[in-house]
């Protein structure tokens, strides 16, 4: 993965909202990860994905599609982010070629398993989060260990807010946030403040 792409992943905003994506990008977010409910029709995913991709292009940001390699290819996304239950990374690589592949890991052991096939690892949930059910909360120490042992970029994810972002800023290449932006009264301002904390 190019070094400028790693810099863009410093603040990645996960959303299914065109409006939130627009505000986050205006606030300086370098990447949008489009995550939608699994039951959504592919035609709807492609339509919304194209709109968010256009916004990302306008701002020179990365556009990553969650879970769905077919949708990522259809909208010419910069990459795809895959979890344990999604398409195997080696098959995804054959399909997406040089596009970015992100992989989820909730332990250093998981991270070591996916390191060779991914371009970056979304590590967590570092803090408790309400965005997904049955989430494993890793805490800070495994994140620190992953950063030490893993050669590819580590993006901290899970329950990251303005209040705790400083705790992970030094031990990750970037952070991925949801409610810190989508739950803010001023999403654009929230993105700016998060980036300031990451500097």
Query: Structural domain tally of the chain?
Result: 1
In the set 10, 35, 53, 147, the catalytic residue is 35
List 22, 53, 68, 104, catalytic entry: 104
Nearest to 10 by CA among 165, 187, 132: 165
Tell me, letter by letter, the H, E, C secondary structure of 103-123.
Answer: EEECCHHHHHHHCCCCCEEEE
The catalytically annotated residue of 76, 84, 132, 166 is 132
Per-residue pLDDT tens over the stretch 84-94: 999 999 999 99
What's the CATH number where 21 sits? 3.20.20.70
Query: What is the overall mean pLDDT for the chain?
Result: 96
- pTM of the entire predicted model: 0.96
Residue found under tokens 């556009």 = 63
Active site residue 10: no
pLDDT of 22 reads 98
Confidence class for position 39, pLDDT limits 50, 70, 90: confident
93 is catalytic: no
The average pLDDT across 46-63 equals: 98
Percentage of the chain lying above the pLDDT 90 cut: 93
**pLDDT for residue 112:** 97
35 assigned to active site: yes
Domain enclosing residue 179, as ranges: 3-198
Please give the pLDDT value at position 199.
Answer: 87
Which residue's entry shows tokens 């895959």? Answer: 82
pLDDT attached to residue 127: 96
Residue 15 pLDDT = 98
Q: What is the pLDDT of residue 5?
A: 96
**Where residue 76 falls among pLDDT bands split at 50, 70, 90?**
very high
State the pLDDT confidence band at 75, using cuts at 50, 70 and 90. Answer: very high
How many CA atoms lie within 13 Å of 28's alpha carbon, on the beta-carbon side? 14
100-106 long-range contacts, Cβ below 8 Å, gap at least 24?
100/1, 100/5, 100/62, 100/64, 102/33, 102/64, 102/155, 104/157, 105/146, 106/136, 106/138
pLDDT tens digit string along 105-132? Answer: 999 999 999 999 999 999 999 999 877 7
């Amino acid at each position: 993965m190019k070094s400028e792409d790693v810099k863009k992943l410093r603040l990645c905003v996960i959303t299914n909202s065109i409006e939130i994506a627009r505000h986050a990008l205006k606030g300086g977010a370098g990447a949008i990860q489009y995550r939608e409910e699994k039951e959504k029709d592919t035609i709807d995913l492609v339509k919304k994905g194209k709109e968010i991709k256009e916004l990302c292009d306008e701002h020179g940001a990365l556009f990553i599609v969650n879970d769905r390699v077919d949708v990522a290819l259809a909208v010419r996304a910069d990459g795809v982010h895959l979890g344990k239950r999604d398409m195997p990374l080696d098959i995804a690589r054959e399909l997406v070629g040089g596009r970015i592949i992100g992989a989820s890991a909730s332990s250093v052991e998981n991270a070591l398993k996916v390191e060779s096939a991914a371009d970056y690892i979304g590590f967590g949930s570092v803090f408790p989060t309400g965005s997904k059910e049955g989430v494993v909360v890793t805490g800070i120490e495994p994140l620190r260990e992953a950063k030490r042992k893993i050669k590819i970029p580590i993006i901290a994810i899970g329950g990251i807010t303005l209040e705790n972002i400083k705790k992970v800023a030094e031990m990750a290449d970037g952070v991925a946030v949801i409610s810190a932006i989508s739950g803010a009264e001023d999403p654009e301002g929230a993105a700016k403040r998060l980036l300031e904390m990451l500097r």
